[in-house]
Each structure stands twice: as C-alpha cells, then as structure tokens.
A = this chain, B = another copy of it.
Amino acid sequence: MEKHEIKKAGLKVTLPRVKILSLLEKHGGHLSAEDVYKLLLGEGEEIGLATVYRVLTQFQTAGLVVRHNFEGGQSVFELDHGDHHDHLVCLRCGRVEEFVDDTIENRQQAIADRHGFTIKDHALVIYGYCGDPNCQKDD
C-alpha cells in the first residue's frame, strides 16, 4: 500500500503523495512531472505542479523513484523497483524499453577502476527507431 511506503520513506502521508505514488504504480511507465500533473488533473484531483515536482524529487531522494534525463527537455520518472536497468528510446514515437546487460555493467566498473573513478551512478540510453513500421520508415 502506498501509505506504508511513504511512511517508510520518512515522509508524512499526504493526499498528493499518495495520489502521485498510486499513479506511478498504476501507470508503470516513464512519466514527466507534467505528465503526472495532467493525468491527476484529468482524474479530477486538485494538485499543484510545484507539488508534483517537489514530491517526485522527495521520492527520488527516498529511493522510491528514479529520474532519467533523456534527450529533449523534461526529466522522466519511474518507480524504483530496485532493479537497475538502462533504456532504449524511440526517437519517432517515444517508446521506451528497458534492458540490463551484465557484461556492460561489469565493463563500466573496470573502466571506472582504470580511471580512478568511484561510480555513483550511470546512464546508458540507446536512441533509435523502434520496431513499429511507422517508426522504421526513413524519410
């Protein structure tokens, strides 16, 4: 239940927080702050955009969600299920697919070691055209 997760994160259980977390759980995908805002408005909820940004950032700090900075404007957020993954993003339709590759993950560690870096995070995004015929046709 959302309330428990929010409490566990050390945050007060408020209506906006419950609504945002529920939406992320229901939707599943990768949503921008504005997406979340508009979807909640569409559901008849009263919420402010500033609150959405604030809460998403708090959820990120608490480890409930991850933020991704794909190309093009807005950050997107998704629930953090603890399973790190990287992304394929379609430049035509915006579809996002997820993947993990242990070989890549391991190579990154080796590279960081060689450069004397301590890894805190990483982001691998493959941009391209997804399998949809409309996205594959070149113009």
Binds B, one of A4-12, A29-37, A42-50, A123-131: A123-131
Given A69-B71, A117-B88, A117-B131, residue A112 in contact with residue B126 (CB < 8 A):
yes
For this complex, into which size category does the number of interface residues on chain A fall?
20 to 34
Is A128's CB under 8 angstroms from B136's CB?
no
Chain B proximity mask over A84-124: 1 for CB below 8 Å, otherwise 0: 00001011000001010101100110011001111111111
Q: Which of B101, B116, B119, B129 contacts A111 (CB 8 A)?
A: B101
How many whole Å from A6's CB to the nearest CB in chain B?
Answer: 26
Contact B112 A117 (CB under 8 A): no
Contacts of A120 on B, CB cut-off 8 Å? Answer: 91, 127-129
CB distance from A95 to the nearest CB of B (A): 9
What would be 14 A-B contacts, judged by CB atoms less than 8 Å apart?
A: A88-B115, A101-B107, A101-B111, A103-B104, A108-B124, A115-B130, A117-B126, A117-B130, A119-B126, A120-B127, A120-B129, A122-B127, A123-B123, A123-B124
